[in-house]
Structure 1
Amino acid sequence: NSLTGIYGNGLKAFLFLMVLCTVWIPVATAQPVPNSIQQQFNDYNELLEQNNFSDSIVGYESIVGSGFESGPLYLNMGIAATRMDSLGLAKYYYLKARNFDEVRLAANDALDFVNYELGRRGARLPELAWTRITHFLFFEMNHIGYVVLGLILINLGVIFYVIHWLRDYLKQINRYIGIALFVTGFIVMSGAIVIYSYSSSYSEGVQIQREVQVRNQPTMDAEIIQTGYEGFRYIIDMKSSGDSEGWYYVRMSNGSRGWIETNHLKIL
């Protein structure tokens, strides 16, 4: 059976299970959890159980503001936002929670639910293949891992090239393998460095308002290019946005570019 809407039985069952699974999970991270943080977390969990969603989010945000983050923390914030029918904000929190191994599966399930509900509201935008590639290169690619891989290949290439000097057996093959590994490693390493350097000027944002106008200039009276809907994800050009206070220059998933007010987005 399909879900019946934000206040339907499907949502209630889903959220009930999510709360049971997460609301009393200790704030788990690689660093020790201060007792004061754990106590605050438990206090805000009680607010969540009492359906005091707005105050629980304010409380959780205060923990994040103190410099402490965890998967259960963001997951519970997403649950509270979902119960408030603020699905764009919930999507933001679940995307943050997905970065933590201990709650990744639960966060992905929650994201599937939120995206389904947003889709029921017609909040879908075609995504270009180039946008998907850009998103991977900028926000998902392990740049450091590719740099390390490149260095390994370069060193292997040097080893094979030296071997071709020292041994006559398969001399030419070792030479070609050495050159191929060195060139491949250099391309991988330099490519990862260039992409990382370029991507540092960009961020990703999630729209938290129901409906927002994307304009061709950073002013309220500028021409409207397109309408953005709650839950839309944008690539934000932080460098181009720097000179326009209160506005972000964004690229939408369908390739459209324009300006959107900063208070309508949460940056991941």
Structure 2
Amino acid sequence: MKKLILILLVFVSLVTQAQNPTLFEEANDAYANDDFETAIAKYEEILANGETSVATYFNLGNAHYKLNNVAPSIYYYEKALQLNPTDEDVQNNIEFARSMTIDDIPVNEETGFQKSFNKFISTFSYDTWAYLSIIFSVIFVVLFLMYYFSRRPLVKRTLFGIAIFVFLLGGISVFFAFQQQEIQFNNQFAIIFSEEAEVKNEPSQRGEAAFMLHEGTKARILEDYQGWVKIELSNGTQGWMENNTLKRL
């Protein structure tokens, strides 16, 4: 049996800037003492205060995994990846959590340029692309001022060329930031929380059952209708579920 690497991510900068350090430390202590219920309660209290971080979501996922709570563990790992899609610890642990799910649904992979483009944009989150655009903008202003006050023609041409290049990088970062935001808004996902949930061919209790899904399965939200949601699985299969059977990311 594969051994899950459960590492508590204690990012000092995140703890001090984005969350209550005392409460986070208490939650970590409870986790270290195998008191996972208390740890979960304290991590959730941090989130209830509007304070989020990769570390909090990751540790919540770990605590739920220890208690064999399949859906919550996958849900919080997914939330951590929303903040940092490249975090290897989260990527590794979510694969272990997914191995506990019942539904084995194949993925229809994107192909060609669109796949490469989306993969590249997903390298960073929306916030990171936005920060990069700000950094490039500041560098551009500095280079432009140096160009403006320089008296040597060769230096001026060099600075102007570099400034234009940095300006283009800033513009590209802004474009990628909006593309990443659009991808996130147009691709709303949810995790099935019910132990077993019926998927119907129409948004009604009288609708014919199409298939069953189980806790921990990830689905894309396509439409909302009077307490029902239309979902799409990774293999393209669609159907309607009651809204209370899943939790949106």
TM-score, with structure 2 as normaliser: 0.65
Q: Distance in 2 between matches of 1:67 and 1:137?
A: 29
1:251 is aligned to 232
Alignment of 1:110 onto 2:93: yes
Query: Deviation at 1:62?
Result: 2.1
Query: Deviation at 1:223?
Result: 1.3
2:48 is aligned to 65
Letter in 1 for 2:94: L
Per-residue CA deviation, residues 29-55 of structure 1 (Å, 9 max, x unaligned), is 397246xx1111112223323433234
2:8 is aligned to 22
- Alignment map for 1:103-182 (pairs within 5 Å): 104-118=87-101, 122-129=102-109, 140=122
2:219 is aligned to 234
TM-score, with structure 1 as normaliser: 0.61
Letter in 2 for 1:32: Q
1:39 is aligned to 22
Per-residue CA deviation, residues 155-196 of structure 1 (Å, 9 max, x unaligned), is xxxxxxxxxxxxxxxxxxxxxxxxxxxxxxxxxx7x997996
Q: Distance in 1 between matches of 2:239 and 2:51?
A: 34
Query: Deviation at 1:79?
Result: 0.9
Gaps of 5+ in 2: 134-174
Gaps of 5+ in 1: 4-9, 149-188
Contact 2:191 2:219 in 1 (8 A): yes
RMSD: 3.9
SS at match of 1:98: helix
Contact 2:230 2:239 in 1 (8 A): yes
Q: Aligned residues, how many? A: 202
**1:38 to 1:257, Cα distance in 2 relative to 1, 3 A:** same
Query: Deviation at 1:205?
Result: 1.1
1:225 is aligned to 210
